[in-house]
Amino acid sequence: MCNTWIEKIDEKIAFPSQINAVIDQIKRQNHWFDVVKIWPAFREPSNVIFYNPQIKHYIKAYVHNKVWKEAYFTEITNINMFNEFCDRIVGKFSWPTILKQDDENLYFVMKDIESQGFSKIDFSKLALDDLLKIYSEYRSTFDEFEKNNEKLQWSSNKIRVSTWDKIFKILSDWINPVAKIAYFCGQKNKIKERYHEWEQYVHSFLQTDFEQLKAKLKELQNGVEKAELEFVYNRLWTGHVFSNWTHHKLIDFDSLWYRIKWTETVALMWTNTLLSVEKYQTYEEWKHSAMKWRDLIEKECWNQNLWKLLIFQKLIGTMYLDYPKWEKVKEVSATEYELRRKRWILWVGKLLHERYSIPYLETMQEIWL
């Protein structure tokens, strides 16, 4: 886990006062721990990650306010419940060992799993069969975990999910059309938010019309009559799963949700192919890999209109959020990095045109490679 998060952060950087308070508190109690990550980086931070390289321990500490106090108790409850469950069934998944839990100061201490022989799984480099094997093992574990939790529904130890997700599941179980409207509205708002956040950057070399995207979204949504839900980890991608290839470890347990079935499979397509564009030399090569995923999803998912909708949403998010925020790797020059990033966005634009009839206009022809 040590190498998963970033190197030691300069603690002289100006952070919000609540983050500084967390850093000061932890440093007073744990002198040899360095700040290695502030999370989330692009919104108001909620927690700080510390690391001690001598003893190979991590600390995750939450901001002290009502919202993040609830988030802390949600995560630590989920972790403890999941580890107890996995110990009982001797499953293939678990969470890093919790060494200390301080509910008053909203932090917990955990072992560095990379020092125990676990390495980060790079989902972009996995062969399709290997990735699907891991997914099948994970899905089996989480389905059983949910059943186990349902049996404990009157217990104070019940797994914690958000109030919205509880309502969403109840509505979907009993009054599906109401949940569908709520889900579709949230989906539309998310696409609108991402589009307008990065519109100026993306449109400097590829232009699309939001009204046409919105019309296609509505068309796809109208074709979905019903959708099943499943209980998900919601972070099954590179950076959150570690393995010794006998057993797997998950990190970050603050986002256990109910999601539309097949959302996670599309997310695997995203982390393995859509977001891993650097391993492809041409658009056709990248498209071929994406189509293999589409064919797999089409074969397994009985709801054709649903999987088309989920992939469409993921493509929009990839083009208008993930690629513009793509982090530069050391081996690539700044010029090459910018060319690659723009080229990848053009790839998505072309795929949206070919598969969903979304027109686009290239404004930088020279980078189309």
State whether 157 and 211 are in the same domain: yes
Q: How far is CA 55 from CA 32, 71, 96, 109, 344, in A?
A: 9, 27, 15, 12, 42
pLDDT tens profile 310-363: 999 999 999 988 877 776 666 678 887 787 788 888 999 999 999 999 998 887
Q: Are residues 139 and 35 in the same domain?
A: no
pLDDT at 170: 60
User: Among the three residues 62, 83, 116, which one is the final residue of a domain in this structure?
Assistant: 116
**65-79, pLDDT tens digit by residue?**
988 998 899 899 989
- In this structure, are 141 and 77 located in the same domain? no
Average pLDDT over residues 223-237: 85
- Distance in angstroms between the alpha carbons of the first and the last residue of the chain: 36
Mean local confidence (pLDDT), 4-17: 55
CA distance 195 to 177: 27
Domain ranges, residue 249: 128-367
pLDDT value for 185: 87
| pLDDT tens readout for residues 160-186 | 766 666 666 665 654 466 677 777 888
Model pLDDT for residues 271-305, shown as the tens digit of each residue? 999 988 888 889 999 999 999 999 999 998 888 99
Question: Quick one: average pLDDT of 48-52?
Answer: 96
- Verify that 108 and 224 share a domain, yes or no: no
Mean pLDDT of 27-32: 90
pLDDT, mean over the chain: 84
Q: Could you give the angle at which helices 334-356 and 304-317 cross, rounded to 10 degrees?
A: 150
How many structural domains does the chain have? 2
The answer to which of 1-5, 183-187, 243-247 has the lowest mean pLDDT is 1-5
Q: Of 74, 92, 116, which closes a domain?
A: 116
Check whether residue 158 and residue 253 sit in a common domain.
yes
Which stretches within the chain are classed as H helix?
17-29, 66-89, 128-151, 163-174, 176-202, 210-222, 263-269, 283-300, 304-317, 334-356
Residues 217 and 362 in one domain: yes
Residues 84 and 133 occupy one common structural domain: no
Query: For residue 359, what pLDDT is reported?
Result: 92
What pLDDT, on the 0 to 100 scale, is given for residue 174? 43
Q: What percent of the chain has pLDDT over 90?
A: 43
Average pLDDT estimate for 237-252: 91
Does 164 lie in the same domain as 76?
Answer: no
pLDDT band at 11, cuts 50/70/90?
Answer: low
Of 116, 146, 169, at which residue does a domain stop? 116
CATH number at residue 87: 3.30.200
